[in-house]
Structure 1
Amino acid sequence: MQITPRDACFAKRCARSHRSVVDTGLGHDGTLTSSDTSPARPKRRGLLVDLSPIRQSPAFARLWIGSSVSGVGAQLTLVAVGLEIYDITKSTFAVALVGVISLVPIIAAGLYGGMLADAFDRRIVAIVAAVVAWATTGCIALHAYLGLHEVGLLYALTAIDAVAATIINTSRSAIIPRLVRPELLPAASALGGIGTGFQLTVGPALAGILVAWIGFPGTYTVDVVLFSAAFLGIFSLPAIRPEGESQRPGLASLMFGVRFLRRSPNIRMTFVIDIIAMTFGQPRVLFPVVGALLIGGGAVSVGVLTAAGAVGALLCSLFSGRLGHVRRQGAAVNWAVSAYGLCILAFGLVLVVAQLSGHRGVGSLTEGLGSANLPALACAAVALAASGAADNVSSIFRNTILQTAAPDAMRGRLQGIFIVVVTGGPRIGDLFVGLMAFAGTIWPPLLGGALIIALVGLLARVQPAFRRYDALNPTP
């Protein structure tokens, strides 16, 4: 692919702006007064998470709180939709299709949303997408109230909601480096992990309880109410327009972003390694059949298993204070993803033992924990919690590499590609698990965990420069 002189000129201007400006502090509205992205050596910190981003940037604090609260509702609905579809179809593959059908729209939304974030006020882009997401959630609730039981309509609504959520996340991720100091980006990412852990812990557990207590319509209504917090966090932001030369959304803008990524091996590696982890290590679509048949416990067990990974991520983020001192962030990503694969393999071994024990659930998602194989459920939850912690470490460093190594004028497009990876990868993983499940419930985590470990080891040998990535000298 040829790089035009205009592309080269634009890249030089981005890099010049990226290198030359020195951070001088935060403005009264909570945004950085400059665009420096070169991290300084962090001060010595304790084991607990660093709260400096919240203390120093009110805008970041409001955005973080708003996204954390609204995310609880989003996860609640995601789990409830899976439970409703399984209740209608009794098919794990039908549950897997929720993510698969959304994959192409998510890819389009991530790419185009990234171009929008690099061309317009990122706050306005996020607001418009939030309105669409809120309206779609209302339609899912209305579908349940009317008792339609239309799986095709649920697929369509969840796809639209996923598109809107992708654009929100793309804009928000490109905004954060403008709200906090560069050296605090690992801490900001860890706080994001706490928010995500809170969402994934409370949301799925609440979904299991609410579905059994008030049914699907009331469960979706709770999400409609909680989503209002997202508007609070976004509306209170100042205008955040891209710094440097902007490009109109379109093929030329997208191709420039692709060419930049091709010349950025460290950023590209963070994408590739996450695709591997999410493709082969995402067993969430197995949870309904595990809760109904293999381990038992019904919807409550599904909630426990879904929340377990978030609990691990939450605990990891709470004790992430020392992660800000890690300089070899590429090597840290390799080790974290390898550990993630090992934990998924351990989850598969728990399922093997549970299957050999002869215990079976009653086949219904409405059963309680009294019929569950509690030792197997506890061991499975521990393995998934450990996988959540490992994935959170990987996420913190992958986010930091992207946010510090990329110039502001490119962040929207790169964040768009990044969002496509982190949201599209699990959808491919859903398909992998759904197809492998035809051979047996135990095979997806067993084979997937082993593949993750092997492929990460191979990439570490093929791309040794990524292992040497230095946080004090960030290069894309």
Structure 2
Amino acid sequence: MADGPGDGAGNGPGRTRGRIFADLTPFRISADYRRLWFGNMVSWVGSGMTALAISLQVYDLTGSSFYVGLVGIFTLVPLVVFGLYGGAVADTVDRRKLGLYSALGSAALSAALSAGTFAGVANVWFLYAVIALQSICQALNGPARSAMIPKLLPPEHLPAANALNSMIMTTGTLVGPMLGGLVVGFAGYKTAYLIDAITFAASLYAMWRLPAMLPERTAGGAPGGVAGGAGGTKRPSVMEGLRFLATRPNLRMTFFSDFCAMILAHPRALFPAVAVLWYGGDARTTGLLVAAPAIGALLGGVFSGWQSRVHRHGLAVLISVGGWGAAIAAFGLTRQLWLGLFMLAVAGFSDTVSMVFRNTMMQVAAPDEMRGRLQGVFIVVVAGGPRLGDFLAGTVADLTSPAVMVVGGGVACVLAVTVLGLTRRSFARYDARNPVP
């Protein structure tokens, strides 16, 4: 699955072949990508601060865990509903402007949170309204931002870029809430929201420095593009994107394989029960269980140098998803906390590997005029799949036991992805040097 000569950036074969840590070549060859990565990293940390601060403030206002749970609903529903539409919009307008305006909207909403708190607005529905609007901005921003990456870098550097991008979300998820707790504890909610608004400056600057990024149109005039490549735009069409995906089996398989992991073997909802029943722990133990996959995912980005040498992306996806399932099943069999945390970290590492290659396949094998819509589907799958997995895990665990659900789910994931690989052999044979969607 490895390549031979250098990486196209002046790195010889020996240097490329021996790389272990993340490949930083995308930073060196593209100042636009470097600024975009840094801006997104800073804004993700700020958003993580706000996510925790809102949950804490809702609990302070209501004293109810139910109302805190509604924060997730008001975040998820707009993201799923508008994710597909955001991808369609990204395929019909200047993606730079869409990314810039949607990031500006998120920054303004964070500023509104801070201003409302400074003004003494203590209304939980105000908070719900703001986070719902922010989710809509994110649903518009995500596809546009992801569809920009293939325009900033050569195809051979996209796996490295996606590995670096994976570190953004993981770092924001880990660091943002920790900083949010410290800021809220020392300076209050208004300061956390204000810092979040300010952190968007880095992302806005990066977007502002980008050139215009109108979607390209294929020579055959496929639907959903921009007339003449830079002229008038067509109306955003979600259905055209779904019809395109229905006729591209390899791209479709990237989503099916992810469903195997996120729906069948996603034990997050069971962590509170597992912490008590298996390890005799408490809330701190639950926190460790939640953090372990994220730490593994971060390590997957840090130690990603080898991924640029892999060409059989479909096979890599199948193996990494199978690795996730096997690690989850092993986690269900152990009753030693350190070993359980290790297996969850292995699962998180495998998930990052799968994400890198799935994202790269969508960016390389799909025409530019469809990349936004595929990223919209990707957002829906990433946001919705784990929630379905939480529901399945909780239901099966209540009917049987957490152990049956975790072990059975991991085994089911391995079996399901194996069946997918055997029935869709073209996916396992997919070669990035000759991408076939």
Contact 1:64–1:192 (Cα < 8 Å) also in 2: yes
Task: State yes or no: 1:387 paired with 2:367.
Answer: no
Contact 1:205–1:304 (Cα < 8 Å) also in 2: no
Deviations 1:23-63 (A, max 9, x none): xx99xxxxxxxxxxxxxxx9645222211111111000000
Letter in 2 for 1:296: D
Q: C-alpha separation between the residues in 1 aligned to 2:398 and 2:185?
A: 28
* Percent identity between the two aligned chains: 41
Q: C-alpha separation between the residues in 1 aligned to 2:111 and 2:266?
A: 28
- Aligned counterpart in structure 2 of residue 403 of structure 1, from 354, 363, 368: 363
Q: CA deviation at 1:330?
A: 0.8
Deviations 1:2-37 (A, max 9, x none): xxxxxxxxxxxxxxxxxxxxxxx99xxxxxxxxxxx
Count of residues in correspondence between the two structures: 408
- Aligned counterpart in structure 2 of residue 199 of structure 1, from 137, 162, 172: 172
The 1:269–1:435 alpha-carbon spacing in structure 2 relative to 1, beyond 3 Å, is same
Deviations 1:390-420 (A, max 9, x none): 1100011001111110111221122222222
Deviations 1:211-246 (A, max 9, x none): 555555544444333233221221221111111242
Q: C-alpha separation between the residues in 2 aligned to 1:438 and 1:249?
A: 49
Letter in 1 for 2:200: F
Paired residue secondary structure (1:227): helix
Contact 1:204–1:306 (Cα < 8 Å) also in 2: no
- Aligned counterpart in structure 2 of residue 296 of structure 1, from 268, 282, 285: 282
The 1:83–1:65 alpha-carbon spacing in structure 2 relative to 1, beyond 3 Å, is same
Letter in 2 for 1:278: M
Q: CA deviation at 1:282?
A: 4.2
Q: Which moved more, 1:460-469 or 1:304-313?
A: 304-313
Q: C-alpha separation between the residues in 2 aligned to 1:449 and 1:83?
A: 34
Q: Which residue of 2 aligns with 1:182?
A: 155
Q: CA deviation at 1:383?
A: 3.2
The 1:322–1:440 alpha-carbon spacing in structure 2 relative to 1, beyond 3 Å, is same
Q: Which moved more, 1:125-134 or 1:59-68?
A: 125-134
Task: State yes or no: 1:108 paired with 2:69.
Answer: no
Q: C-alpha separation between the residues in 2 aligned to 1:69 and 1:141?
A: 18
Q: CA deviation at 1:70?
A: 0.9
Letter in 2 for 1:322: W
**Which stretches in structure 1 are left out of the alignment for 5+ residues?**
1-24, 27-41, 354-374
Contact 1:99–1:427 (Cα < 8 Å) also in 2: no
The 1:233–1:429 alpha-carbon spacing in structure 2 relative to 1, beyond 3 Å, is farther
Letter in 2 for 1:246: V
Q: Which residue of 1 aligns with 2:226?
A: 246
Q: C-alpha separation between the residues in 2 aligned to 1:61 and 1:391?
A: 24
Q: C-alpha separation between the residues in 2 aligned to 1:217 and 1:291?
A: 34
Contact 1:330–1:469 (Cα < 8 Å) also in 2: yes
Paired residue secondary structure (2:382): helix
TM normalised by structure 1 equals: 0.75
Task: State yes or no: 1:418 paired with 2:402.
Answer: no
Q: C-alpha separation between the residues in 2 aligned to 1:238 and 1:164?
A: 21
The 1:458–1:212 alpha-carbon spacing in structure 2 relative to 1, beyond 3 Å, is farther
Q: Which moved more, 1:318-327 or 1:139-148?
A: 139-148
- Aligned counterpart in structure 2 of residue 311 of structure 1, from 281, 295, 298: 295
Deviations 1:52-79 (A, max 9, x none): 1111110000001100111112223334
Q: C-alpha separation between the residues in 2 aligned to 1:121 and 1:347?
A: 46
Q: Which moved more, 1:263-272 or 1:216-225?
A: 216-225
Q: Which residue of 2 aligns with 1:171?
A: 144
Letter in 2 for 1:468: R
Deviations 1:236-269 (A, max 9, x none): 2111111124275647x32222221111101111
Contact 1:204–1:304 (Cα < 8 Å) also in 2: no
Contact 2:274–2:402 (Cα < 8 Å) also in 1: no
Deviations 1:99-158 (A, max 9, x none): 4454442233222211221111101101111122223334445666647363x5544433
Q: Which residue of 2 aligns with 1:337?
A: 321
Paired residue secondary structure (1:242): coil
Q: How does 1:122-201 map to 2 (within 5 A)?
A: 122-141=95-114, 146=120, 148=122, 150=124, 153-201=126-174
Q: Which residue of 2 aligns with 1:234?
A: 207
The 1:386–1:200 alpha-carbon spacing in structure 2 relative to 1, beyond 3 Å, is farther
Q: Which residue of 1 aligns with 2:4?
A: none
The 1:82–1:415 alpha-carbon spacing in structure 2 relative to 1, beyond 3 Å, is same
Q: Which moved more, 1:215-224 or 1:314-323?
A: 215-224
Contact 2:167–2:301 (Cα < 8 Å) also in 1: yes
Q: C-alpha separation between the residues in 1 aligned to 2:342 and 2:293?
A: 8
Q: C-alpha separation between the residues in 2 aligned to 1:428 and 1:249?
A: 34
Q: C-alpha separation between the residues in 1 aligned to 2:101 and 2:349?
A: 33
Q: Which residue of 2 aligns with 1:277?
A: 261
Q: Which moved more, 1:384-393 or 1:96-105?
A: 96-105
Deviations 1:400-446 (A, max 9, x none): 11111011122112222222222232333344456567669946645
- Aligned counterpart in structure 2 of residue 466 of structure 1, from 415, 427, 430: 427
Q: C-alpha separation between the residues in 2 aligned to 1:397 and 1:272?
A: 14
- Aligned counterpart in structure 2 of residue 68 of structure 1, from 41, 44, 50: 41
Q: CA deviation at 1:285?
A: 5.2
Q: Which moved more, 1:167-176 or 1:318-327?
A: 318-327
Letter in 1 for 2:29: Q
Contact 2:262–2:389 (Cα < 8 Å) also in 1: yes
Q: Which residue of 2 aligns with 1:264?
A: 248
Letter in 2 for 1:274: D
Q: Which residue of 1 aligns with 2:51?
A: 78
Contact 1:204–1:303 (Cα < 8 Å) also in 2: no
Q: CA deviation at 1:188?
A: 0.8
Q: C-alpha separation between the residues in 2 aligned to 1:326 and 1:121?
A: 32
Q: C-alpha separation between the residues in 1 aligned to 2:272 and 2:57?
A: 10
TM normalised by structure 2 equals: 0.81
Q: How does 1:49-60 map to 2 (within 5 A)?
A: 49-60=22-33
Q: Which residue of 1 aligns with 2:221?
A: none
- Aligned counterpart in structure 2 of residue 224 of structure 1, from 173, 177, 197: 197
**Which stretches in structure 2 are left out of the alignment for 5+ residues?**
1-7, 10-14, 218-224, 228-232
The 1:470–1:110 alpha-carbon spacing in structure 2 relative to 1, beyond 3 Å, is same
